[in-house]
Structure 1
């Protein structure tokens, strides 16, 4: 959070350094780096702190608050979209960063972090009880403490083995994910399969095109489907406004309906929405309503489906001691994929128009089949239950303790 403020202020300061715009890029790099750190920490924090029965709902709230932030940004962007006032778009972010920074001073550190860095069991129990809203001696706290202690024990064991020249029996997260020739025991194979499933779901979300279409919504409506500029601008804002209540849907359904139905169902609807957009753009201005409907449905269905669930699904697939490394890896792959997709779409769309949506349409169809075939349900299940299911599917003789 501390780096968010100077990063955004540097972007705003580019207003007074014209024609030298380098500050805009420097500031963008700084606050993007801060966002990357926050996105990893937020997912890990929720998995480590939230009670199992509400973990899905808590994780889904990320999408709610992101929609609020996006809406606020668009609300300021409409009046500030001028040559004189554009720099003011960066100012509100400083206020929200300061408020968030103050809020962190009054909450407990993650109990997992307390156990690893301080070794203070009682403090970790108090932190868990505070987050779960229960007594310190509650059974749910005992269960989570056992998970924390097991994770700390495995990390210490792994560290000891790295300092020992003897045969290694435990592998690090990087070795499990990227060195299958080394970490090829049944346990590592199951964990690696689970971790890469999480990465696949996140990349699948990027290729639904929802994030890219949201970023270029005004361009798609105005340039590609021939809405007037004002209609495109306010239409984009209206969709952003509608996203806010829609993001509350998974908060209530994700633990009842399950992760799989939301992921696969929203991906199928995304495919149909992209197809509708492509046909609408190809048919010209007479079909611009179809383009707007397709764009709106794409953004709304992702807000309550794969866009929300993918933020925490991978964290429910890997053991606690590998959580940070796997989520960091996922975020890295997501960022790389997002950059490639967003930088590719705009020039391609200017060149070939509607066919540029095939960049999303074809991968979405492929990922939909893969997720239907491979992704396990994680709702109301422990990580070890999910890993045992994966082991059975892969016909590996390994069992994770329940």
Structure 2
């Protein structure tokens, strides 16, 4: 007994540390600086959101001022997405060339010039030229916000942080709606100019914070061989030093830098990070994993726009008018409610992306949209055929518009930005640009055809058509979309290539990771 007591006494100094070491590890606290960087980068989405929101109301007054047709209104409203396609196509190469930060500054500069041109446009052609310049900036901003946020975020919070661009896009839409309402009392020729011209202030603010506050993406720095700077950024944006070292090792491995290399500056072959080789790996000789990634990303962006959200956001005053709301003030206030709903429900996605996961959220989101769109289409058809106003159907239609944007914002909308995480590092910028090109091209088709579509098949028929597209989208996501929650960016690629592509040859499978 005495010996045992002596043993306890002798080891008593070690007992507390030993017991504490057996406690379950505490989850590291979220890195605040990475959250700040994600917020600042995501603010570039305010530019796109503001343009979408403000044009929904400004188009009404522009049509009266310039006496243009519905077709010209469709072109004016929707062509921004077509112009943004040009910016998105160029943004991938540009961000690999000059870096993520300065690409954001470039996008803000384009939008600044575009806002001035639109605000002072004396006629329709010059207004369209302002739309062109602003559209290029929006294309740049839509790509770089998602790429930068994904690359700067730690794995523990990448899902929620990557949804921030969608949140700020919705903030921009809401600001645009508020601007419509605020300036609607101004004289006709002055009100819409203020609505459009005031957009220069967000672009100035964005350029200032990017230049003076934000660091460069650590993954871009490693691709340039600037390891010393990359280490500093990773140390400040990771949840722990251990995670910072692991992230650096993973990036070095993908770029092709030896793990033992610890120099601050090293030589990296430029052809391995951007240029023609990237396009060959994406389109000409993709591995099964890259092919699966590309199809998934293109599908996300296609269904994000093809389900008609641009029509709801851009033409909400007309939709509410068709639903039986006659007062201009009431239509604009209902439109503001759309903006508020979109902004509030994106916060749901921000909280749940890293808790529930990407796959459950997007399936729930698209499923809810299908129900909302079908009900809205039926309700609008009833109103159009019965010519009754002030009935329960009006309230149902307004409620379904809000439900549609709510379900969209809690999964489908932010997934367009979160999907940047699925591309391998050296393919990411230009891969995301492919997705954004699809996004903007489909968005421009939806925006530029909605008025003609509902004249051709009725407004109820248009939303039933969007519901059909959403149904196809739900099946697509169920089949091809894997869960990526909690994975480092360098690990995500391993989840692809094993769902639809099991028929691929063994030779392709053996070279999967090496080639991508």
Displacement after TM superposition at 1:360 (Å): 0.9
1:148 corresponds to: 251
Displacement after TM superposition at 1:67 (Å): 1.6
Does residue 351 of the first structure (1) align with residue 456 of the second (2)? yes
Q: Which moved more, 1:76-85 or 1:243-252?
A: 76-85
Q: Hey, what's the Cα distance between the residues in 1 that align with 2:354 and 2:296?
A: 20
Residue pair 1:7, 1:29 contacting (<8 A) in 2 also: yes
1:164-194 Cα distance to aligned partner (Å, 9 max, x none): xxxxxxx833223332xxx16xxx1221111
Q: Hey, what's the Cα distance between the residues in 2 that align with 1:205 and 1:221?
A: 22
1:96 corresponds to: 202
1:10-43 Cα distance to aligned partner (Å, 9 max, x none): 00011xx2xx322211111111111111111111
Task: Return the TM-score normalized by structure 2.
Answer: 0.69
- Where 1:248 maps in the other structure, the secondary structure is helix
Displacement after TM superposition at 1:130 (Å): 2.3
1:130 corresponds to: 236
Distance 1:156 1:70, change over 3 A: same
Summarize the alignment of residues 163-202 of structure 1 with structure 2, pairs less than 5 Å apart: 172-179=277-284, 183=285, 188-202=287-301
Equivalent of residue 422 in structure 2, options 308, 317, 322: 317
Distance 1:160 1:85, change over 3 A: closer
Equivalenced residue count is 378
Residue pair 1:177, 1:196 contacting (<8 A) in 2 also: no
1:112-165 Cα distance to aligned partner (Å, 9 max, x none): 222233x2211111112223365xxx11111221233234329956827999xx
Residue pair 1:108, 1:127 contacting (<8 A) in 2 also: yes
Equivalent of residue 182 in structure 2, options 76, 79, 102: 79
Q: Hey, what's the Cα distance between the residues in 2 that align with 1:9 and 1:317?
A: 37
Equivalent of residue 234 in structure 1, options 333, 348, 354: 333
Residue pair 1:7, 1:28 contacting (<8 A) in 2 also: yes
Bigger radius of gyration? 2
1:380 corresponds to: 486
1:345-401 Cα distance to aligned partner (Å, 9 max, x none): 211112331112233121111111111111101111235654334333333543649
1:113 corresponds to: 220
- Where 2:198 maps in the other structure, the secondary structure is helix
1:167 corresponds to: none
**4+ residue segments displaced more than 6 Å:** 160-163
Q: Which has the higher contact order (CA 8 A, sep 6+)?
A: 2
Task: Identify unmatched segments of 5+ residues in structure 2.
Answer: 1-107, 258-266
Q: Hey, what's the Cα distance between the residues in 2 that align with 1:322 and 1:355?
A: 40
1:168 corresponds to: none
